[in-house]
Structure formats: structure tokens, C-alpha cells
Amino acid sequence: MKKTITLILALALLLFVPACGETQEQGTDTRLSIVTTLFPAYDFAREIAGERASVSLLVPPGAEAHSFEPTARDMIRIQESSLFFCNGGESEAWVEELLADQQIETLVMLDCVDALEEEIREGMQEIHEEEEEGEEGPEYDEHVWTSPVNARRICEALCERLCALDPEGEREYRANLARYAARLEELDAAFRETVESGSRRTLIFADRFPVRYFVEEYGLDYYAAFPGCADDTEPSAKTVAFLIDKVREEEIPVVFTIEFSNEKMADVICEDTGCRKLRFHSCHNVTAEELENGVSYLQLMGENVTALKEALS
């Protein structure tokens, strides 16, 4: 991986450095440049930096973030940025290799919170249990932003870094943080009220499960087909049967899928049990249309509040 990244950087320099005798047009944009890997980081950076930074997103809308590999142009963008705002973890292993060779101002979301180990729950695909046994050291759940409490911690860390990079903008950054933190607190309160008024505490995900930080924050239990970063999307008959039994035993009214799911497993469970299928958005990535229309973390999580009310009824 390290040799590959070094080669990419070398090729990038050859491709993008002006030829002899040419001059690059001097840019007039004096704002900070923030390059982000995932949509949550992108949205948090827009909110906290405001007009004092240009913010770009590396992982294309609709793409599978877990398998993303940066291009040569991406590497140049990261190198030239004022701040590289990434998630970290196994899905972004290329980041560690890149930073080992480059001096780049970086903020890692996983480092801003107390990380939880990814867990294998009863009923999950057996193949993952075998894979986990052969791994060295713990594998951490990377979806830290799914808890609004964590989202605030990440934004606070981002604000501090921006203030250090751009002291003249400190007042604006802190004002933006105060406004956004208030909205995150409202979101947190809405989730807590929903959980407290619900008649059950168990969620069923007929899908991957990228929201462990969310359920831990609000004291919820869950069953799912796969862990959050699983590569598999085709469940065994045993896994489907287990989830169907759980829906029936606990009279679960809703089965969740996540964004970009094929929803086939959920359709089978709903047809067999009569429960309803709803989406719980992990905010990992969004569609091109959603991004163009300015969708936000708060908007998507607000939709989750509505879905959760029905699931806990």
C-alpha cells in the first residue's frame, strides 16, 4: 500500500505540475481549504467553517465508502488542503499510509470520541465470527457520527482546529459551533423523548448495522444480519430465519434497512411477518441528488426520529 501511494503521488506531481516556462494562475480565494472523506465530515465542516473555508468531498455521492481508493488528483487535493478531515479506521487504511509519508494537517473523527469495538451479535452471519477470530487486535466500529452526542464532540474538535489554523476567524467559528451545537442538542432531545415514550427497546436491521454508537447512546437493543462494515450483503437462510423469529417473538412492527440497500432481505421478512419496512439513514453517504439539493446530517437524522417512533411503538 505504501509503495502504491508513493507511486500515485509521484505520478500526480508529473501530471499536475506546470511545464517549464508555464505559470500557474494565482488564485484569489484566500479561504481555508478543507478536504473531507465522508459526508458527515463534509457537512460538519460546512456548518462550522461557514464562509471562511471551501469544503470538498472525496467519496463520490452514492459510492461505497468502505472500498474507496483515492485518485492521483485526490492526493494532490489532500496535499494542498489547509485541513484534511477524515474518519480513520480500517475503511480508510490508505490514510495512515499517506500520512506516514506526508506532513498534512489532519483531523480524524475516530480520534474525537471513545471508539467502540465492532461486535458480533446473536443471529449475525456466521462467516463474520470466523473472520473476527483470525484478526489481530480489535476492530473498531467506524460510524462514530451516528450518535448526535458524538457529532457534537467531533464539531467541537473541528472548531478548535479551525481556530488554530485561522485565528482571525475564531469568533465566527465559535458562533457557528454554538448555533450548530444547539441544533444537535435538539436532535438528541428528540431521540431521547422518542425512546422514553416508546413501548419497546429492540430494533431489527435486515441489513448491515452501522449505528452501534446510536443504540449505545440511547440504551437500545438490536438484532441485525451483518456488522456495520461487512462486505457481505447476501444473508444465509439461517440469518433470515433468525430475524423472522425475533420479529414474531417480540411483535416488532418495523424492520429497518439502511441507505443504498437492495432491501431484498427486508422484503422477505416483511412478507413473512407482516411488519413494515423503513429506512434508518446512517448518513455514511448520500445520493448525487441529495447532495445537490443541500441535504444535511440534521435533516437525515430528523427523518430517523420519525422512523424510530414507529419502530418503538
Residues in the chain: 313
C-alpha–C-alpha distance, residues 241 and 249, integer Å: 12
User: Over the chain, what is the mean pLDDT?
Assistant: 88
On the 0-12 / 13-18 / 19+ scale of CB atoms within 10 A, 128 is middle
For residue 15, is pLDDT > 60?
A: no
Nearest alpha-carbon partner for 233 in 128, 135, 131, 80: 128
Mean pLDDT of 25-54: 90
Phi, psi of 150 (to 5 degrees): -65, -40
pLDDT at residue 295, rounded to an integer: 97
For residue 199, is pLDDT > 90?
A: yes
Minimum mean pLDDT range among 74-78, 227-231, 287-291:
227-231
Using one digit for the tens of pLDDT, what is the confidence trace for 51-62? 999 999 999 999
Nearest alpha-carbon partner for 29 in 56, 2, 9, 59: 56
C-alpha–C-alpha distance, residues 138 and 232, integer Å: 20
C-alpha–C-alpha distance, residues 228 and 216, integer Å: 14
For residue 1, is pLDDT > 70?
A: no
In order of their start, the domains of the chain are 2-18+30-183 (3.40.50.1980), 189-311 (3.40.50.1980)
Contact 246, 204 (CB under 8 A): yes
C-alpha distances (whole Å) from 106 to each of 64, 109, 210, 228, 292 are: 22, 10, 24, 25, 26
